[in-house]
Structures are given as C-alpha cells and as structure tokens.
Structure 1
Amino acid sequence: MSIKTIHTEKAPAAIGPYSQATIHGATVYVSGQLGLAPATGDFVDSTVEGQTRQALENLKAILEESGSSVESVLSVEIFLTSMADFATVNNIYGEYFSTHKPARAAIEVSGLPKGGLVEIKCIAAV
C-alpha cells in the first residue's frame, strides 16, 4: 500500500500530528481546513463569511497540489459551531461548487480548533 503525503505553502500548515492531505491510489483525502491564512496561521477574520471563503481557498490549494481540483471532489463534510450560519456558509460553498455537486454533510459541533467557526474537509479523485 502506497500513501503519499501532501503539503503546500499555499495552505496553512497542519496544527497537529497530521498532514494537509494524503493520496492513496486515485483518491485524495484532504484534512479539515479552517479559515486560517497560509502565511500566518491566524484566522483571516472573525466572521463566518471570511473563515468559510478562506477554508475553501485552503481546500482548493491542497487539491491543486494533489493533482486534483474542486471539480473532482467526491464528498465534503462541513463542521459549523452554529447551524444558524448554515445559509451563509451554503451560499459561499455554492460559489465554489456551482455546477459540480459532490455528496455533502453539514454538522453542528460544540467547538473547533483555535475557536474557528467553520471547518471543511473533502475526499476527491486524483
């Protein structure tokens, strides 16, 4: 079994003992992305809008480094600290997944790393 670890400077470094993504066969598994700026590791801002856009940009950068793309995403999981933010996150998500509609789950959680408001992970074809 061959597993390749992915890292790009265009997304924030992992904040724990994990990688940004791993590839096995023709599938890439992207770790949950927060709205952190790649250069600083800090949140881009305190709003769910800003954090969602940055989380999706981070996801996109990792997919591209993996040889994949948003159009090749098979499944997405979105973690929200408040389901009251679902419509806002959903609208921004729709900008990235306008024609391609992967399987998806949106889950409310009691907390996220570093106090984030949203975290997004995915599985994609390579």
Structure 2
Amino acid sequence: MAKTFTFAFILSLFIFSCTQKPTELEVNHYLSEETAQLNLPFSEAVRVGDMLYLSGQVGNKPGTLDLVEGGIEAEAKQVMENIKTVLEANGSSFDHAVKFTVFIDDIAQWSNFNKVYVEYFPNKKPARSALGADGLALGAAVEVECIAYIPSKK
C-alpha cells in the first residue's frame, strides 16, 4: 500500500511539472549612453535572470576608443575599472563576480597583469581562465570578460 501511494505521489508530481508553463528568463541588454554613441556592434553586458555576462573589456578611456597610455599595467587597471562600472550599473560588483576570462597579447606580461588584478580581489577570487592572443581589439595589450551574479534587492 505504501509503495503504491509513493508511486502515485511521484507520478502526480511528474505530471504536474510537465503540464506547467515553463518560466521564461528575462533577457536585458545593457549599453551605457557614452558607449552607445560609439555605435559598436555589441552590448556591454547581457543580463539573463540573475546572471550578468559582460563583453570583453579593453583599457579604453570611457566613451572613447582610445586606450590609456602606460603599458599593460595601466591598461589592466582601466580594464578593471571599466568592468567595475558595468557591474555596478547593473546592480552587481566584484564581490559577485564568478568567472573571468583574460586574453593577453603577450603571455610574458602575465605577472604584470596579475599585479593589478589581485588588487581588486584581496580575499575571495573568482574562477579565471587566461589565453595568449595574437592581436586584440584596438591593439590592446589585454582584454577581459566577466560573468557575475546579480543579488536580489532586499
């Protein structure tokens, strides 16, 4: 009797779940006003549910296609500041970053990039991948993608 009840209960849960309309995730595209003026062919970030996917960021001065001067460390700092701006504009922060992908045009400069990167993550560090690249957008030394969680507002 108990086995029949358990089977019937599980079967009814299965049938109920199959007949429910699937929840659709809301997808929002983010593009700051100053970046929109550049007429680039991508969004700075796309929000899907409570996750935020950033396009690769290079060390350009905000609202321009001009890279900051000063080499890899200066570009790395600007990259991280650009990411921080996009995260905060979308209700997230470095504290909620879960994954970074780093593209660097000269892998021998990896330690110079890390000098800057670790300043933004003194404690918990997100997952990260790194690739050497043969040329990056705008002739950048480094480009970084980020995936972050957007906490619900309480």
Query: TM-score, with normalisation over the residues of structure 1?
Result: 0.92
Show CA shifts across 1:61-120 (max 9, x none): 000001000010000000000111100101110001111210001110101011110001
Q: Which runs of 5+ in 2 are unaligned?
A: 1-24
Higher RCO (CA 8 Å, separation ≥ 6 residues): 1
Alpha-carbon distance between aligned partners in 1 of 2:132 and 2:105, rounded to the nearest angstrom: 5
Length, aligned pairs only: 125
2:54 is aligned, of 23, 30, 35, to 30
Against the structure 1 CA distance between its residues 113 and 15, is the aligned structure 2 distance closer, same or farther, given a 3 Å change threshold?
farther
Q: Which runs of 5+ in 1 are unaligned?
A: none
**SS class of match (1:74):** strand
1:96 is matched with which residue? 120
Question: In the alignment, residue 97 of structure 2 is paired with which amino acid?
Answer: V
Is 2:44 the partner of 1:20? yes
Q: Which entry has the higher C-alpha Rg, 1 or 2? A: 2
Is 2:101 the partner of 1:77? yes
1:4 is matched with which residue? 28
**SS class of match (1:123):** strand
State the Cα distance separating 1:56 from its structure 2 match: 0.5
State the Cα distance separating 1:5 from its structure 2 match: 1.0
Question: In the alignment, residue 52 of structure 2 is paired with which amino acid?
Answer: V
State the Cα distance separating 1:39 from its structure 2 match: 3.4
Question: In the alignment, residue 69 of structure 1 is paired with which amino acid?
Answer: S
Question: In the alignment, residue 39 of structure 1 is paired with which amino acid?
Answer: G
Q: Which runs of 4+ in 1 moved over 6 A?
A: none
**SS class of match (2:52):** strand
Answer 1 or 2: which has greater strand percent.
1
| Identical-pair percentage | 36
**Partners of 1:8 and 1:61 within 8 A in 2:** no
Alpha-carbon distance between aligned partners in 1 of 2:100 and 2:39, rounded to the nearest angstrom: 21
Query: TM-score, with normalisation over the residues of structure 2?
Result: 0.76
Alpha-carbon distance between aligned partners in 2 of 1:25 and 1:18, rounded to the nearest angstrom: 19
